[in-house]
Amino acid sequence: MDTLVAQLQRQFRDYTISLYHQGFLDDQFTELKKLQDECSPDFVAEVVSLFFEDCEKLIGNMARALDQTGNVDFNLVGSSVHQLKGSSSSVGAKRVKGLCVTFKECCDSQNFEGCVRCLQQVDIEYKSLKAKLQDLFSLEQQIVQAGGRIPQVDI
């Protein structure tokens, strides 16, 4: 008979694996988890939260810059993309980082339509990741509340 904890742990494991396999996360996320310990039990959630705030801020900057019709400062957009690429790389947000590479190319070649498209995609992608990680953290909380331990998942 499968206990609640066992079911939740299995869900957690399966969901984690799917996030890696579908390319949402890469091994830098695994590295982040290594930094979580009793001294900072919410480290991953905190960093990830900072990341999503950063996404929102940078996307806002880029949207405003791209809105200056006829007078778009591509350097400004490019430097925001550079920041976002760095942050996404550091937290293991693989898809966001990948989009930043394309986005940077559009900035460098001053491709306005390309930039607008990339911006839309980055916006969708970070929000999608945010929702998925919220689900993942929620599963963790449920496991702990049910008296279980969060399993170590080897990808």
Residues near another protein (CB under 8 A) are 28, 31-32, 34-35, 37, 40, 43, 46-47, 50-51, 54, 79, 82-83, 85-87, 89-92
CB of 42 to another protein, least distance (A): 12
Which one, 51 or 143, has the nearer CB to another protein?
51
23 Ramachandran zone, left/alpha/beta (phi>0; psi -120 to 50):
left
Of residues 4 and 23, the one with the C-beta less far from another protein: 23
Q: How far is the CB of 74 from another protein (least distance, A)?
A: 17
Which pair of tokens denotes residue 135?
A: 């689900």
84 vs 136 by CB, closer to another protein: 84
Distance CA 143, CA 83 (A): 35
Output the smallest distance, CB 128 to another protein, in A.
Answer: 19
Considering only CA atoms, which of 123, 100, 102 is closest in space to residue 52?
Answer: 123
Rounded-to-integer distance, Cα 91 and Cα 136, Å? 15
Rg (CA), the chain: 18
